[in-house]
Amino acid sequence: MKKNHPFKFTLLSLAIAASFSAYAHAEYTEPENTETVKKVKETKKVKDGEPVELDDIVITERADSLIGIAGSASEGYVGQEQLKYRPVTRPSEVLETVPGLISTQHSGEGKAAQYYLRGFNLDHGTDFLTQVDGVPVNLPSHSHGQGWMDTNFLIPELIKTVNYQKGNYYAENGDFSSAGAANIQYMSDLPDHTVKFTGGMFDYYRGLVMGSQKLGDGKLLYAGETVHNGGPWDVSNEYLKFNGVLKYSEEYGDSGFSITGMAMGADWNSTDQIARRAVNQGIVGRFGAIDPTDGGRSDRYSVTGEWHRQDKNSKSQIMAYGLFTSLDLYSNFTFFQDDAINGDQFGQPDKRYVTGFRAAHTIFHKLGKFDSESTFGLQFRNDNIQNSLTHTKAQQLLDYTRNDTIWQSTLSPYFDNKTTWTNWFKTDVGVRLDGYRFNVSKSNQNANNGTVYDGMASPKLGMVFGPWAETEFYLNGGLGFHSNDARGVNTNVDPKTGSATDADGNPIEKAVPLSRTYGAEIGMRSNWVKGLNSTLAIWWLDIDSELLFVGDAGTTEATHPSRRYGIESANFYSPTDWLTFDADLSFSKARFQGNPEGGNYIPGAVETVIASGVTVHDVWGGFYGGPRLRYFGPRALIEDNSVRSQETLMLSSTLGYEFNKHVKIQAEVFNMLDRKDSGIDYFYSSCLKTDPCYGSGGDGINDIHFHPVEPVSFRMSLITNF
């Protein structure tokens, strides 16, 4: 358990201070207006064959048309104008602006969120690539899970745009992007200096300061926040986070650069998921903890440098980044199943240094007589990792299950060509090459040391038809991949026993380094009705058979080939400039292939997501806000579908009033219906001290283990601008 923070209220009263593109000729520029997301400059032929330059098309939010700009029905943008009106309980919920995506939590506030999208239980981010200003957030070969995606360092008020691309159809996106990707872009300039203080139920406090000012020939943006959250849990989260951003940028006509530094530190107690029988028997309440010593500590520090230029013939961008992250995570999901004396708590420390760069150069040219643009890109990433799986009691080390030093590198060149063939037909053809090196050394089992190399080519194709009557049609397809944990790739013996066979006598198998994914989508985007932006997509995704490394056990686990398909509809309607309605619907089906013994349902795979809301702003003298409804449908929790989760329905709302341009007040209410739903459900075996399995060395009791949603709660913010 962590020490108390005697000065937390003093600290919490202060914030940390100064501490895609069009198919024709297109250019992405750093906007002067902070609400601008994307500028697209088009050319077209006139009768004498000479091009003329048209007006800029400025994309600011979902209400704006992407006709002639987007490459698929499931690509889109979300701007700050939408984000600032949404009730948000934690930073990861920013990604719920991606239609069909669910962010939830099954542990303490400081742990990476759990995500669901397109028939996936994405765990902590496995098949959804997230980047912030181009820097990848997902961490490979992580101690707790492949693709660990901790977004707790995000400051929602700094986000200029969330650009999402679902599916594996984009040459610029590689590992972790089979379900989709999101690139979150921070602002470089703010219109005001802002001080914001939020207080709420369950010992919630947040202080934020941010602003920008001219410095030399450029602009310096600063932001800092501190957050404390106790939560409704019987064992308080005692979540305490300090987080800061500094960004300096300069623009010189057709070129510019930026340098960004970020720093975050947080620690917390965890109330992990609990067995339903423990609640039914009165051992703990819904908000209780079976192991009250679970918790964690995380740190993240990064530096990024970026340079860009563009003119009428080409555009270029180069960026390099360095990142240090560390995590000490302590969890207990099975309680006393393996160790009746000390309990089953395990630690998963992970410390790494990440370096990488990205470069892209686009040429605007002719392909015969047709307007075309070709992009040549190169991405490199290197992770130097030290992580472990340990057996602990009250966060004190008892012994090691695994202890490894990992060196994982990837080099990824790609090419992409977009050509306008007629005024109603465009193509996007690309290919991506990914080369990987998986090295494990200094393992506690020498037989698990080794180096494996692998590579994969992934072609992509997109076609756009239209527009007709402000409606476009899309056909997209591509091959992608998913990397596996370097430890699983090099595993030869069981890390606990040193045996080449598992407990059932089966030989230990290595994980497949790179597993192929196959995706396709047909879609439509329409702005035919004035003020209504609607998309419809029917998608399909197959994943090859693979072996997955299970971070919580330190071993590999066989899975089957899988197939997922579904339909999505996203709708955004603005009948007036002060009122918007949105409704996103997603229905998915996920199954193992090959009729595996035990059933073909994929446990935890999301089936139905419905999200809708109403937003008003600048009405009745300055009121803004509105309600939001999120429906997370039932899911199979076991392969034969004999056990299913319940639905989760959340109604939340924001209501604010802007007194003048300097002062406003905002209230947020969460779970207004005070529903007693689960944030997440699992089905597996565990052992309580009251179970027959306790101390017998026998199997545990199969049960649903759940983490409840927070009860109805309220937060109030005071925001001042100057």
Q: What is the pLDDT of residues 247-262, one digit of tens each?
A: 999 999 899 999 999 9
Give the DSSP letter string of 320-374.
EEEEEEEEEEEE-SSBTSS-TTT-S-EE--EEEEEEEEEEEEEEEEEETTEEEEE
Q: Class of the 8-721 domain?
A: mainly beta
More confident residue, 555 or 448: 448
Amino acid identity for residue 11 in this structure: L
Lowest model confidence (mean pLDDT) among 21-25, 146-150, 324-328, 568-572: 21-25
pLDDT of residue 82: 87
Q: Answer whether residue 719 shows pLDDT above 50.
A: yes
The candidate with the shortest Cα–Cα distance to 225, out of 211, 204, 242, 237, is 242
pLDDT of residue 41: 43
Q: What mean pLDDT comes out for the span 552-559?
A: 65
User: pLDDT tens-digit profile of 66-109?
Assistant: 999 999 999 999 999 889 999 999 999 999 999 999 999 988 89
Q: Answer whether residue 707 shows pLDDT above 70.
A: yes
Using 50, 70 and 90 to split pLDDT, how confident is the model at 32? very low
Using 50, 70 and 90 to split pLDDT, how confident is the model at 502? confident
105 contacts: CB under 8 Å, gap ≥ 6: 90, 92, 111, 113, 114, 679, 680, 707
Q: What mean pLDDT comes out for the span 253-280?
A: 96
Q: Answer whether residue 135 shows pLDDT above 80.
A: yes
Q: In what order do the strands lie in the sheet with 701-708?
A: 274-275, 701-708, 678-686
pLDDT of residue 62: 57
Q: What mean pLDDT comes out for the span 546-550?
A: 60
Helix (H) or strand (E) holding 276: helix 276-280
Q: What mean pLDDT comes out for the span 466-476?
A: 96
Cα 692 to Cα 58: distance, rounded to the nearest angstrom? 65
What phi, psi does 358 have (nearest 5°)? -140, 135
User: pLDDT tens-digit profile of 152-166?
Assistant: 999 999 999 999 999
At 11, is the secondary structure helix, strand, or coil?
Answer: helix
Query: Residue 233: how many CB atoms within 10 A of its CB?
Result: 22
pLDDT of residue 198: 98
pLDDT of residue 717: 98
User: pLDDT tens-digit profile of 213-243?
Assistant: 999 999 999 999 999 999 999 999 999 999 9
Q: Which two tokens stand for residue 491?
A: 């595993």
* Per-domain boundaries in the chain: 8-721
pLDDT of residue 187: 96
More confident residue, 60 or 707: 707
Cα 312 to Cα 297: distance, rounded to the nearest angstrom? 49
Q: Answer whether residue 175 shows pLDDT above 90.
A: yes
User: pLDDT tens-digit profile of 674-688?
Assistant: 999 999 999 999 999
pLDDT of residue 501: 84
More confident residue, 621 or 219: 219
Model-wide pTM > 0.85? yes
**Opening angle at CA 717, ends 628 and 286, nearest 5:** 60
Q: What mean pLDDT comes out for the span 510-529?
A: 95
| Cis omega (within 30 of 0) for bond into 413 | no
Cα 477 to Cα 396: distance, rounded to the nearest angstrom? 50
More confident residue, 504 or 442: 442
280 contacts: CB under 8 Å, gap ≥ 6: none
pLDDT of residue 55: 43
pLDDT of residue 61: 59
| Residue 565 and residue 519 in contact, taking contact as beta carbons nearer than 8 Å | no
- Could you give the percent of the chain with pLDDT greater than 70? 89
More confident residue, 35 or 431: 431
| Residue 379 and residue 356 in contact, taking contact as beta carbons nearer than 8 Å | yes
pLDDT of residue 358: 97
Average pLDDT of every residue of the chain: 90
Q: What mean pLDDT comes out for the span 646-662?
A: 96
Using 50, 70 and 90 to split pLDDT, how confident is the model at 712? very high
Radius of gyration of the chain (CA): 25
The candidate with the shortest Cα–Cα distance to 231, out of 198, 270, 265, 267, is 270
Q: Which two tokens stand for residue 193?
A: 């200096």
pLDDT of residue 498: 86
Q: Answer whether residue 575 shows pLDDT above 50.
A: yes
Beta bridge partners of 353: 324, 384
pLDDT of residue 81: 87
| Residue 205 and residue 12 in contact, taking contact as beta carbons nearer than 8 Å | yes
Q: Which two tokens stand for residue 628?
A: 């939001």
pLDDT of residue 33: 35
Cα 684 to Cα 516: distance, rounded to the nearest angstrom? 29
Q: Answer whether residue 364 shows pLDDT above 80.
A: yes
527-562 residues labelled b (16+ CB within 10 A) or e (exposed): beeeebbbbbbebebbbbebbbbbbeebbbeeebeb
Q: What mean pLDDT comes out for the span 637-661?
A: 96
